[in-house]
Structure 1
Amino acid sequence: MAVLKDKATPRGKYPHIKRVGDFLFVSGTSSRRKDNTFAGVEVDEMGTTNLDIKAQTAAF
């Protein structure tokens, strides 16, 4: 099992990657950054969110 140092800390008890034989299982991935903000998310003063799926996908 591995938790990647350049990614945000998992919020649960699971690794970023687990290897079983020739398989790699990926869990807990999102556009969340190490500082717990999210790439591709903007919130205005009224609380309206703007989500940019392209930026969120690129954050992986």
Structure 2
Amino acid sequence: MNANKNIGCNVSECKYHAGNENYCSLQHINIVHHNHPAKCKEETDCGSFEPRNR
């Protein structure tokens, strides 16, 4: 997978994690919120996450 150096990521369980580098391999990610309006980072997530098949 090609690392996108503009999107840092250390969630190696995601299928889009760039392997040995802590980056995402996607060109674009979707950030979602749990509360409206979100007031802290814990109320947001990467909506592009998909679990890695192991």
TM-score bracket for this pair, using the shorter chain length: under 0.3
Report which structure shows greater RCO (CA 8 Å, sep ≥6).
2
Normalised to the residue count of structure 1, the TM-score between the two structures is: 0.24
Larger helix proportion of the pair: 1
Larger Rg: 1
TM-score between the two structures when normalised by the length of structure 2: 0.26
